[in-house]
Each structure stands twice: as structure tokens, then as C-alpha cells.
Chains A and B, each alone.
Chain A
Amino acid sequence: MSGAKLLPTTQWVGAAVPRKEDRRMLLGRGRFTGDLARTGTLHAAFARSPFAAAQVDAINLSAALTMPGVRAAFTAAELGHPYLLAILERAEFTATRMPLLAGDQVRYVGEPVAVVIADDPYIAEDAAEVVEVEWTPLPAIAGLDAARVAGARQVHRELAGNCLVDLTMFDDDRLEEIFATAPVVVEGVFTSARVAALPMEGRACLADWDDRDEQLVIHVSTQVPHQVRSGIAQALGVPERRVRVIAPDVGGGFGLKCVVGREEVVVAGAVMRLRRPVAWTEDRQENLTASFHGHEQRYNVRAAFDAGGRLLGLAAEIDCDVGAYSAFPFTCAVEPLMAATELPGVYKVPAYRARGRGIASNKPPTAPYRGVSRPQIVLVMEQLMERAARRLGMDPLQVRRINMIGPGEFPYTGVTGVSYDEGSYRESLDLAEQRVTAGGWPAERDRLRQAGLRAGIGYSCFSERTAYGTPTMSQRRMRMTPGYDTAQVRMDPSGEVIVTTGTCGHGQGHETTFAQIVADRLGLHPGQVRLRQGDTDLSSYGWGTFGSRSIVIGGGAAARAAEQVAGQLRQVAAHLLEASAADIELTGGSARIRGDAGAAVPISELARVVYFQAHTLPEPLRYGLEARESFDPPGTFSNSCHAVLVAIDPGTCEIRLRRYLVVEDCGVVINPLVVEGQVRGGVTQGVAAALFERIRYDSDGQPGSATLMDYLAPTAAEICPIDIVHLETPSAHSETGAKGMGEGGTIGAPAAVLSAINDALSDTPVCFGHIPVLPEDLHAALTREGAA
């Protein structure tokens, strides 16, 4: 626990406070973007490319425009060829425009070429179908190999080797010598399939023009309202104040909605011309084929170990199929940069080389899907540990322990220059192993095997870097560098509080957890604290909710601002009680003199006096109880150990989870309900990536996963109960001691599941290095080995 600052005495932080968000959702009174259309709203639909790559020779809108009920239709030319441009300020990066509507060329099936706006969405869809386009199909670049082959067509003219970014982040010249002399060198190719984030609410927007404020007001289902505003302003060439972005209730995001969608900006542009409200709601087919994907990666890895299992060196070539465009504002470098920078994870790597490339293809662009390369890098490192152990005849958990950053080594700065704050890496693995043994998992595995099934236990150990502020984000050199956030805390005359934040919760329960943090600082009940988020006119510029940043950065800013207001309250109370401000404590709704049970004044009375009897106070105490504070930390690492027991039916090759355990440490737990919900939901998404989900494309770039019949998101029947054990190592880089934890479940699950599958196959030569492992993969491998 060293390194943690003295935390304020807490009451609400740590409690399982029921979520404020629940009531309206349970009553069916949530307000999602698609619920907001008013009478007279027009509806947009997009005409999209049926080809993965084609020249657009001509677009004829006349059939669409003459359809009854159609009000307008636009092509790129009519909108002035607007585009989004995401830039990484590095020589190794090639910037490419993402046109809002494709102009002379389309680069994936589903790319929009025209928008039709009609009285209702049924008519709009009919009209989009009769937009006539003359195409000249081009050969599709459908994947990494097609993109890299000599003479391959370039997805963008300005590229070479279809490479959008090529970064050698680290290169230790001792490595070749290390590999030449090491007792054990483990080599492997590891791949992960393209997946969809699949929020249950797809993307949606509703834009209108407000003549009073001379402003476009656009409701968007987004994680990043301010970046949507910046994107609209940049693409349409208007000042940011002319745009107000509001995120109402948002039905999940998982990274899909932390980038700016071109359809949202097209609708904004259309409304600026039409001055009529226009709504767009993507359907699931558009969501699966024409939004953003993630996680299509290939790792070529070599790792050298000594005879005792200690890692000596690591070299990795990381290729990410990032699709046709760089998503705004992060660029396509997010995945390769994250992978190359953080591959070593919880392990001590003495010598390291990593090259990360983002390769363009004729598929939809990628967004930073939950976990962002960490599910893959954890899978890679855990497989290296497993394979080294197998080669050396050692216990794989022992190989992990030998290489893991251990107790007493924090803060640890490794070969990548990344500094790891205090964690419980070793403790979480030890505890997980104890629980697995005490819970009878090995015996259950034996019983399953005796019953004729294949069964295996797998572990994964990892840390999750969260809450990246600008000190860390700036190393990526994005033209728009995210990181900080700002909160305002304002007490009203009845003594209740409104907090504004630039973060933008969409299922994480921020209305509850931010209120817990602020309530403790002010001696109030969380019910007296209201969070306002997701409105660019209400909050200071902020970076929304992604990268497990909100509770640390947004919550940290809110804690700081609340502390300022608490100071103001203590001054006023000291004046009224004729005491020293240092002796005043705020608790249970009152300001009290410490140690004097009789001397107290309700906080509501302090607020009343400040606002309504200002003249009775000394000048510095008058005119409001409010504060604005920012927070911009370097980042903090939460950590976990996952363990899973799987059973495989040798006949059907179906892989089923039997037991799942997560030992997690996210520092101070603000609300255990919320943390456990995030872990369980995250694990489910990670299991999905390990066993079920795969966006398929054929060699012509045609999508094969356009419905939820083809893209298999897990149901309750595929998931087992997930047990969670908490450790709490507070972070010194966090105002509340909390660490981010929104992605950990997704990060750890694929590696643990893959280890378990390989354990179940340990009597065969089969050892998988890809996800998802499908029944057909198992069947093919076991048949090949004669082990079926």
C-alpha cells in the first residue's frame, strides 16, 4: 500500500450504492437518441457501396428525388467534398482523408456515397435503394497478405505497401546475440479476428438548427461529445461554438462510439442546409458492415528464455489490419502503437524490439474497441510463458512468477520506459491459484476427463494501463491529444450540487459513482449530487469516456472541484460558528466543529446564507459556492488474474466454460456493484472474442457477418457465473485512489480461455495461437493429429 496518499475519510465511496440510472431505464423512460424525434423530423438513409473497391463514375439522384416524401439528397460533390482528417505527427504516419461521402472511389462494402432525406425512414430507405451509381469495380485488398504482396493495388494512392503507419518503437541491438545464445527461444504467430463492438444501441443522431442561438444542435449516441463537435466543426468549416453536441442516454459504446462517424457529420451538414430536424438511426446490418471494427491483428513473436525460465529478450512484429481509413480523432495508429508500447505487460523484459504497423485494406475502418490491443498482447505474453514452461518442463505459473514485476519493485520502469505504479501482480496470481485449488477445480477437471470430455484450466496475468492523461498520450503525437478533463461543482441555494464533467458515461453508472465521490467531499448524500454530462454547451472541453479514464480523470477533477467548494463551505461555517475553518468538518449534511457535538449548521443553511444573505458575509465568502478544476494524470495500472475451467465435447468440439474467477485490483473501489458489473461484462466480451465472434470477409472483400445470425454474440447460455475477488492497492496518481478498470475483463479473458483450451489439448501436439477458437478449428486440428 506504499505510495498511496492519505485519502479523505469516506462514507459513500466503497458502498454498493444503487445506481441512479436504473430507475428511468427500468420504467422505460430512458431517453436514447432514437426516442427524441419530434413531429416533422425528417429521416436520413445512406446509399452505400456494394463493392469493396470501385471507381465511382457517376451518381444519379433523380429517381430518389422524385419519390413521394423525399425532401433532399446529397452526394459528396453537392456537399463540397467534406472530409475528416486524423493526424499523427510522425514521419512514419501517412495521413489520409476520410470523406464524409465517398467521391470518386469507394474503399469498402458499405461505404456511403449519397444520403437521402425523407419524411419517414421507410421512404428514405426506399429512396436510398434507387440511387443509381455507375461503378467500375477494382481488385479488392481483403486482408494483410493481399495488402503486402508485391505489386498490390494501394488502398490510397499516397501509400506504399498499403502501410498507413510503420513504427519501430523499440530496438535493442543486443537481441540477435541474445537469441543466438539463449537456451530456449520460443517463436510463434498469434492472430486475432476482426470483431464488432456491438453496442445494443447502434449509432444514431438527431440534428436540428436553432435560430435563436445560430447553432446546430445534434444529439448523438456517442462516447465523446466534444470530439464529435470538433469533427463536425473541422469537416464543415464552422467554428465550434456553432455546434452543440448532446449525448443523451447512450446504449453502450465499447469504443465504437469514441470515434466520429461520418454519417453523423453528413446529417449535421444536411441540417445546416435544410434547417429542418433530421434523424438517422443505423440498423444492425449497417452496424456490422459499415461502422467500425477492431482487433484484426497478427503478431510474429520471438522470446528468449534462460534455462531457469527467465525471459532474456523479446522481439515482435505486429501488423494490424486497420481497414480503409484512419478514424477521427485517434488515427489508425491506436492499435499498433498500443501493442508495441505495452506488449511486455506485467513481465520484466531485459531487451525488446517491437515494430507495429497499421495496414490498409478494403474493409471498414477500425475504432479503439474495448481493450485496444491488450487482449492480444496479453494473449501473446501468456502463451509465451506457457510455451516456455512446456519446453523447460516447468510449471507455467512458476515461469510467470519468475518474470513478473514483483512486490517491492514498484514503481517499476521497464524497457519501454513505461512506469508502473503500485500493483498486486504476484498477490493476485497467488490468490487465484489458491482459490482454484480450494474450489476443487483440478479435481473437477479430472472428473470431466474421466467422463470422456476434454477439460483444461487456464490463467492470465495482466495489468491494464488506464486513465492516460496528456503526459502519456502526448507520446503518441496525435494532432488532437486527449487526456485531461475538467469538472465544475456548483452548489445551489438549497444546498444541493450539480457537477459537470467532460466525460460521458454510457452504462458505467457515472451518475452514481461521481455523486459518491463528491458527496463524501461535501458531507452530503449522493442523492443530493446531480451529474451533468454529455453536453458540449454545459461542460468544459473534455475527452469523453474511453480508455478506462472516467472515474480517475473525470472523477478526480470532480473530487478536486468538490474539495474547493468544501473549503468555501468551511470558511462560511467558520464565520457563522465563530470558529477556525481548519476545525470545521462537513459530514451528514452539516458543518460541525470537530469535537463539539453541539456546534453545527446545516449545509443547506450555509448555501442559503451565501446566496440570499451575501451582504452579511465578508467579501471573499460571497457570491456563490462553485469551483472548476482539471485533472491530467500520467495514468495508473490496475491489474488482475483470471482463471477459467473449460470443458470440450470431443464429439461436437463445443467449448463450454465451467468456472471463471477474476482476482482484480483497481485500487479504491468506488462502488462494488459497478466494478463487478464492469468485470463480468468485460469478461463476457473477452470470452466472445476467444470463442465466438469473428467478422468474416471473403477474398473479394464481401462481408459474411451482416446479421446476428452470422455474428455470434454470446447469450446467457454461453457464459457461466463469474466469481470476483477484490484486492485494493490505491494509486498515488489518482485523487480518489481508484484506478480505471473498464476494459480489464475483456483484456484478460481471451488469454485465459486460450490457455485453458491448450491445457485441455495438452496430450496432443495441438496448441492454438489464434482467436476465436471455433469448434471447426478444434475438429480440424484434432482430426489432423488423429486425436479426435
Chain B
Amino acid sequence: MKDIHLIRLRVNGREHELAVESRRTLADMLRHDLGYTGTHLGCEHGICGACTVLVDGSPARACLMFGVQADGSEIRTVEGLADGEQLSDLQQAFSDHHGLQCGFCTPGFLMLAEAYLSDAASDGTGPTEAQVRELVASNLCRCTGYQGIVEAVLATAWSRRSAGAP
């Protein structure tokens, strides 16, 4: 017998109400029940971070959460970063600094960095290269060697700081 729960959550500002089996992961629910396929699954055991999304503003591995645990939460996925068709500054920096190749891990790095940059902006200190490298070490990329990712996050941090940061 399936154990089904009715839950309600917001994803990228949009309200969703759905019935979800208790064992269904947040990642599968986002991807296959709600259509947010930008969230990718690279390992399904919490190491690679490709499935990183923001749950109430904090980065979380969507493969390590059940969908039911997100009941009442505000979720942000990669689809929520751009302003319509306009890439965010972070997304643009990833392209400018060649921070992606195959693109599979990219959504996880973007969400990880987005959360970090929001925190960094709020405390008014700019990150160092070493701090960003430590952050980026949360996730795995097999293509880039990480240098472009580190540069993109640093460049975004600096430009947000000099722009007075949102």
C-alpha cells in the first residue's frame, strides 16, 4: 500500500499542491512531479551536490530530503535564478569564466553559490579565493577543474559588493 501525503509548497515563488508518496525524494518530486528538471541527480547519496536547491534560503541536497519534508517550504531551483530570459549576474559570470562544460553539475553549483553570495552580501565582507574554493569544494564537477567556477563566484561576489549588493 502506498503511503501518500498531500503537501503544499512554493517553488520559485509559485504555489504547488500535490500528493506525494512518503519515500519519494525531493529531487524526484521536483523533477518528475513538478517538471523542474534543471535540478540534476549525480549520485543520489549526497556527495556530488548536483541536486542542490535552496530550501527556505539554505542550500540542501534534494536527493537527501523526502518530498514530504518540504511541505510548507519555499524552494528555489535553478529555474528561478534568471529574471525572465535575462541571465542573473552569477549565471552570466559562469559563462564569461567558462565555469561549465557539459552543464550537468552546473545547477547545483549555481544554487550553492547563490546562497553563499546572499549571505556574503548580508555581512558585507568579500570572500577570498580560498574561501570560495572551500565553498565550491562542496560539490563535484568532472569537466572544468573548478577554476572557472571559482573565478565566476569570486567575480560575482566582487561585482555585487562594489554595486552595493542587493
Contact = CB atoms under 8 A, between A and B. Distances in A.
**Pairs of residues from A and B, 7 with the lowest C-beta to C-beta distance, nearest first:** A28-B38, A251-B104, A25-B103, A507-B102, A680-B145, A28-B78, A717-B137
B100 interface: yes
Nearest to B21: A122
Interface in B92-123: 94-96, 98, 100-107, 110
B68 interface: no
19 contacts: A22-B95, A25-B100, A27-B82, A29-B38, A32-B40, A34-B41, A200-B40, A200-B102, A200-B140, A200-B141, A202-B42, A251-B104, A252-B142, A254-B142, A507-B101, A676-B98, A680-B148, A681-B101, A684-B144
A27 B78 contact: yes
Given A26-B87, A28-B77, A709 B137 contact: no
A708 B104 contact: no
Interface in A470-514: 506-509
A202 B42 CA distance: 7
B136 A507 contact: no
B143 A252 contact: yes
Given A199-B102, A201-B102, A683-B145, A19 B44 contact: no
A284 interface: yes
B130 to A, nearest CB: 9
Contacts of B148: 677, 680
Contacts of A199: 102, 104, 142
A745 B144 CA distance: 11
Given A283-B44, A680-B145, A251 B103 contact: yes
A18 interface: yes
Nearest to B87: A26
B142 A717 contact: no
Interface in A606-651: none
A61 to B, nearest CB: 23
Contacts of A32: 37, 40, 104
B73 to A, nearest CB: 19
B32 A708 contact: no
B145 A200 contact: no
B66 interface: no
B34 interface: no
A30 B105 CA distance: 11
A721 interface: yes
Interface in B133-166: 133-134, 136-150
A684 B144 CA distance: 8
Interface residues on A, range: 35 or more
Contacts of A186: none
B4 interface: no
A718 B106 CA distance: 19
A35 interface: yes
A766 interface: no
Interface centre among B82, B140, B146 (most CB of A within 10 A): B146
A685 interface: yes
B88 to A, nearest CB: 9
A716 B49 CA distance: 13
A696 B133 CA distance: 29
Contacts of B149: 716
B47 A707 contact: yes
Contact of B145 (A674, A684, A707): A684
Interface string A281-300: 10110000000000000000
Interface in B5-29: 21, 23-24
Contacts of A24: 103
B101 A200 contact: no
A189 interface: no
Given A284-B42, A715-B136, A26 B110 contact: yes
Contacts of A782: none
A719 interface: yes
A21 interface: yes
Given A201-B40, A708-B140, A35 B31 contact: yes
A508 B94 contact: no
Contact of A250 (B36, B87, B102, B110): B102
B145 A708 contact: no
